[in-house]
Amino acid sequence: MSELIERTLTAERSVTITRVIAAPRDKVFKAWTDPKLLAQWWGPHHFDNPRCEIEARPGGRIHIDMRGPNGAIHPMSGTVHEVKAPERLVFTAVAEDEDGNPHLESYTEVTFEDVGGKTKVTVVAKAKGFSPAAPQMLGGMEAGWTQSLEKLDALASHPA
């Protein structure tokens, strides 16, 4: 079977999430581009990231292994396309199964706007699914991003 047939589109979704975080824009942007900070907030509640790598430059690689509450690892790899500190970050990511087969691919644009010493973060994520698990994963995108930004807010708004 050809790869084209194996990667037949099963579903797609786009979400836009905005949150104002009580922290300066530089600090919030760093939380997206420093792998040690990114690992502390990426993913829904009750998930952690035993492996978190990001090269915050155009063409840089991303790899995050999210670990769910049941211990299952959910790998994601991708590429950074644009970094305009501290205003904008654009990347693609592929959520994979344990054998490296894609469940879905997402294109994410994140903007950071200074609003009186706080930061308005807007995430626009567009994803296409390629596996039977994709519709469920796409259905959880809004909740997943909302919970991630809640964790980011808790991290970034905490005094350093």
Q: Where are the domains of the chain?
A: 3-156
Whole-number mean pLDDT of the chain? Answer: 92
What is the residue whose two structure tokens read 């609003």? 115
Q: How confident is the model at residue 136 (pLDDT cuts 50, 70, 90)?
A: confident
The pLDDT, as a whole number, for residue 160 is 62
Sorted by sequence, the CB contacts under 8 Å of residue 158 that are 6+ apart come out as none
93-135 residue pLDDT tens: 999 988 888 989 999 999 999 999 999 999 999 999 888 888 8
The pLDDT, as a whole number, for residue 5 is 41
The pLDDT, as a whole number, for residue 135 is 83
Would you say residue 51 has pLDDT above 90? Answer: yes
> What value does the mean pLDDT take over residues 64-93?
97
Cβ atoms of residues 149 and 43 within 8 Å: no
Could you give the residue ranges of the DSSP H alpha helices within the chain? 3-6, 25-33, 35-41, 134-139, 141-156
What is the residue whose two structure tokens read 């840089």? 60
Residue 98 or residue 92, greater confidence: 92
3-156 CATH pick, 3.40.462.40, 3.30.530.20, 3.40.50.300, 3.40.50.620: 3.30.530.20
The pLDDT, as a whole number, for residue 156 is 96
Would you say residue 2 has pLDDT above 50? Answer: no
The pLDDT, as a whole number, for residue 100 is 85
